[in-house]
Amino acid sequence: MINQTVSARIKHFQDFGNSLPHAKVYFRDDWKTIYFDLSGKMFGLMSPTASEKSIITLKGDPESNIELREIYPDVTAGYYANKKHWNSIKLLTSELSDQEIEKMIAYSYKLVYKNLPLSVRKAFTASD
């Protein structure tokens, strides 16, 4: 049951990430993880296999990250990431809905997008 729930979330969040403009979500073989990519910049990482320890790691504002960690036990400082800017969320969590995690994915995407070079953002706009 646990693995089915987590597997469904892994697929769902992968599909959601791929639905964002110009984003690519794929298995990154050298890191053995699911990588959320926007023009070569990471906006998320996710466990590729379902288990009780499966997580998704997303970028956020430092103040919001601390607040989320204080409110939700299933949100911790980013695993293998800058603890100030990244949070890891257990995929087995019942504290956060899929929609809430989707908002976090979209926000992480926006944070990375706004830091892309202007030329890249203009090229994206021109191709849309």
- Give tens-digit pLDDT for 90-103: 999 999 999 999 99
Cβ atoms of residues 100 and 58 within 8 Å: no
* Residue-by-residue DSSP string for 72-103: -TTEEEPTTS-TTTEEEEETT-SSS-HHHHHH
Q: What is the pLDDT of residues 19-70, one digit of tens each?
A: 999 999 999 999 999 999 999 999 999 999 999 999 999 999 999 999 999 9
Q: Is the pTM of this model over 0.75?
A: yes
- How far from 33 is each of 42, 45, 54, 98, CA to CA, in Å? 12, 7, 11, 20
**CATH ID of 2-127, from 3.40.50.620, 3.90.1150.30, 3.40.50.720, 3.40.640.10:** 3.90.1150.30
* Domain layout of the chain by residue ranges: 2-127
